[in-house]
Amino acid sequence: MQLEPIVTFAILLAVILIVPLCFERFRLPGLLGLLLAGVALGPNGLKLLQSESETMKLLSGIGLVYLLFVAGLEIDIEQFRATKHRSAGFGFFTFIVPLIMGTIVGRLFNFNWNASILIGSLFASHTLLAYPIVSRLGVVRNEAVTVTIGATIFTDIGALLVLAICVGINEGNFSTLELARLLISLLLYSALILLGFNWLGKEFFRRSGDEEGNQFLFVLLVVFLAALGAELIGVEKIVGAFLAGLAVNSVVGEGPVKGKILFVGNVLFMPIFFVDIGLLINIPAFIESIGAIWLTLAVVIGLTTSKFLAALLAKLAYRYSWREMITMWSLSLPQVAATLAATFVGYRAGILTEEVLNSVIVLMLVTATVGPIITARAASGLTPAGKHTESDAEDADWRLDQRRSSETDKPLTVVVPVYNPQTERDLIEMAALLVRHESGRIVPLSIATAHVHMDAPELEIALERSQTLLLKASDLSRELGVETKPLLRIDDSIAQGINRASREQQADLIILGWGETEGFRARLFGNVIDQVLWATHCPVAITRLLDSPANIRRILVPIEELTQQAMHMVRFAEILADTNCANVTLLHICDRHSSPTRIAWIQSQLTQLASGCSSGATPEIRIIRSDDVAAAIIEAAQSFDLVILRTVRRRINVSDLAIGNITTEVVKQLRCSVVMLGEPQRHRSVLMPKQGSEL
């Protein structure tokens, strides 16, 4: 039954909206739900959707391109540069060993050489599904972890190049001369995309300023031009999409444009691609075919074994510990993005059979489940490497900047944007606590949005409202006994006005009230908080105060990683505690399988961090074993007045369709006041240096 395109699209939207939510309620991956929905609605089920329909071909094709583009966009180039030589070494091991193993599996099941090598390339790539786990454990700086992250760029590019050659051979008339032509074309094309689009992107972003809509459209245009260019030289479009992701990786950074790109892909196009994969799965045929079951076992065992051997070679070559080796193996085990995309292309091209497609689906589900579980256990015993790294140098620069700042005796300047009369008093009180302690001043700021005509009635109303808010802020500041400098500004947008005024006033901190951070509109178009965090030059405190700041007596500071920002959080808590005679507790949630050695190391680091507090009582240290970080923080926070968290740019894996992070989950359920500290994106300035003291 061929449905109208609008009906097909409506069904897909309903599936994307409902199915992942239902599966996640039962702690099952939303991705699994999409695949099963495709099976249920496809030719082997209700026959409502057809993979061959023009609508599905278009939407699924966009999803396929988007999937590989995001895979390239999410690769951490800085991590790769930090250990590029060893990353190249492990990348070679974890590419060539699985490639050989997969080829052997293909030949054992009577596939021709072209199909067998393509099966081997499916083994070669990997998806960093467990990155959030190693990030939460604070071991991203461990060299073995960094090397595995960097190796992704080699495995993915290598696997896609093999795919391009295999598809070319399958199309026939593929001589040695044709192979040489394809390789030269690929080399020139890759250089054009990686260098040309990177330069073009930097120029466009520099000239377009804050026009996020145009920047978003530019990135989309780059993706599909790269995909089209790949097809013109005779290779698959996903190769071009992946290279485009690498090309604009450093241009897009971690800003709001990247958030929009990931949001559109994860919410719409990539889920449709996974549904289309489900349409191709023939479960009755898979169950009936004993040979397919043996092929599936061979694929799963072959992949698992080959990735283990590759990690073992890296251990022997670079003298890693067994725990580091197991971590590298488990990180490189999951097969999702590039593997699934290449399998789909190979199946469409007629190189791979339905049995191989079904086997890869099983492989994806097994490795995506087992890999992160092993990572959680193995990485829990790691500690960050003791060697000097680029990040260590960054921390050293921060300490130097802190000493310089503390020597200048510059008064603390806190900018408080005022908009909501109901939260204005609490924001001013919070700022007053800080500036009284640090002998500084408050700059109440009100932004009136600009209009084409300066005599517009709407602008007059906005100016009158701003004057009223600033007058109230001045009265509150005098009541609290602190110096104030009210500021009224007319600007194109509220976020731009806050950032520009803060820079002009040489602000050390911006205190914002809570705003809309969820919902379709906020996530697609961004919100004031996101925009301020992206462009600010100084730290930002985002507050949700349920009581007067003067009533804060117990402060909880969850510490995820022992980083510069953790020091800022402790410093912020120290000032509030010293002003209010409050108690501070530093909380770290570790994995249940963390070794005693790692817990002792964490304890020593937190003790060192707490000992840097120069006023009031030394913070209490609490370490809790739990696999559910959010639940542990929420339970611990029940007896506290304030929780200080950090804001984190959400890293969204290409297979993880549930966009969110621990901070978001915690904030939704906390029943006390919350302050989230955000760092500037481009430059990490020091949060409120105290004269004559260092952390």
Residue 28: alpha-carbon gap to chain centroid? 21
Q: Is residue 55 part of a domain?
A: yes
> Cα angle vertex 131, ends 201, 637, to 5°?
110
pLDDT value at residue 288: 63
Q: Please, is 461 exposed, middle or buried when counting C-beta atoms within 10 Å of its C-beta (0-12, 13-18, 19+)?
A: exposed
Collapsing DSSP to helix, strand or coil, 690 comes out as coil
* Domain carrying residue 273: 5-379
| CB distance 252 to 75 below 8 Å | no
Under DSSP, the state recorded for 655 is T
C-alpha closest to that of 532 among 498, 564, 508: 498
How do residues 396-424 score in pLDDT, each as one tens digit?
333 334 433 444 456 789 999 998 888 88
| Alpha carbon separation from 251 to 149, 154, 198, 254 (Å, rounded) | 20, 21, 7, 9
Cα dihedral sign for 340, 346, 349, 351? negative
Rounded CA-CA distance 39/272 in Å is: 13
Q: Is residue 528 part of a domain?
A: no
pLDDT value at residue 520: 45
CATH number of domain containing 337: 1.20.1530.20
Q: Is residue 232 part of a domain?
A: yes
Q: Which residues of the chain have pLDDT under 70?
A: 1-3, 79, 82, 131-132, 135-136, 138, 172-175, 210, 285-292, 383-410, 515-526, 562-564, 612-617, 648-665, 681-695
Q: Is residue 163 part of a domain?
A: yes
Rounded CA-CA distance 621/607 in Å is: 7
Amino acid at 360: V
| CB distance 276 to 38 below 8 Å | yes
| CB distance 113 to 320 below 8 Å | no
Collapsing DSSP to helix, strand or coil, 293 comes out as helix
> Exposure string (b/e) for 96-127, b if CB count within 10 Å is 16 or more?
bbbbbbbbbbbbebebeebbbbbbbbbbbbbb
> Cα angle vertex 442, ends 438, 444, to 5°?
160
Pairing mode, strands 583-590 and 483-484? unpaired
Rounded CA-CA distance 302/312 in Å is: 15
Q: Is residue 314 part of a domain?
A: yes
pLDDT value at residue 681: 58
Q: What are phi and psi of 622, to 5 degrees?
A: -135, 125
Q: Is residue 357 part of a domain?
A: yes
* DSSP H helical ranges for 505-580: 520-525, 528-535, 564-580
Rounded CA-CA distance 532/515 in Å is: 12
Placement of tokens 């020139």 in the chain = 188
pLDDT value at residue 72: 79
Q: Is residue 385 part of a domain?
A: no
Rounded CA-CA distance 537/682 in Å is: 8
Rounded CA-CA distance 199/484 in Å is: 45
How would DSSP label each residue in 72-136? HHTS-HHHHHHTHHHHHHHHHHHHHHHHHHHHHHHHHTT--HHHHHHHHHHHH----TTHHHHHH
pTM for this model (two decimals) = 0.64
C-alpha closest to that of 364 among 383, 345, 341: 341
C-alpha closest to that of 18 among 30, 5, 1: 30
pLDDT value at residue 390: 40
| CB distance 262 to 223 below 8 Å | no
Q: Is residue 321 part of a domain?
A: yes
pLDDT value at residue 128: 73
Rounded CA-CA distance 13/3 in Å is: 15
C-alpha closest to that of 486 among 476, 496, 494: 476
Placement of tokens 């731009």 in the chain = 496
Cα dihedral sign for 371, 376, 378, 383? positive
C-alpha closest to that of 643 among 614, 663, 613, 615: 663
Q: Domain tally for the chain?
A: 1
